[in-house]
Amino acid sequence: MMSSPLVGIIMGSDSDLDVMSGAAKVLDEFGVANEVRVLSAHRTPEETSQYVRGAAGRGLKLIIAGAGGSAHLAGVTAAQTVLPVISIPVKRADHGHEALWSNVAMPPGIPLATMPENGGKNAALLAIRILALSDAALAKKYADFVAKQHNSVLDKDAQLQAKGWQSYLQG
Min dist CB 73 to ligand RP5, Å, is 7
Query: Measured from the CB atom, is 67 or 115 closer to ligand RP5?
Result: 67
Pick from 120, 9, 3, 16: nearest CA to 69: 16
Binding segment for ligand RP5 (CB under 6 A), chosen from 64-72, 105-113, 136-144, 156-164, is 64-72
- Whole-angstrom Cα distance, residue 19 to residue 15? 9
Question: How many of the other CB atoms lie within 10 Å of CB of 98?
Answer: 14
- Work out which of 13, 48, 77, 103 binds ligand RP5, going by CB under 6 A: 13
Residue selected from 7, 10, 16, 131 as contacting ligand RP5 according to rule CB under 6 A? 16
Of the candidate residues 60, 63, 64, 67, the single one contacting ligand RP5 (CB under 6 A): 67
CA 117 → CA 8, 26, 46, 52, 112, distances in Å?
19, 17, 27, 23, 14
Question: How many beta carbons lie within 10 A of that of residue 108, not counting itself?
Answer: 5
**Residue 69 interacts with ligand RP5 (CB under 6 A): yes or no:** yes
- Answer yes or no whether residue 8 interacts with ligand RP5 by CB under 6 A: no
Nearest residue to 66 via CA among 99, 95, 97? 99
Which 3 state secondary structure label does DSSP give 117?
A: coil
Question: What is the closest distance, in whole angstroms, from the C-beta atom of residue 14 to ligand RP5 in the complex?
Answer: 7
Q: How many residues bind ligand RP5 (CB under 6 A)?
A: 9
Binding site for ligand RP5 (CB under 6 A): 12-13, 15-16, 40, 67-69, 90
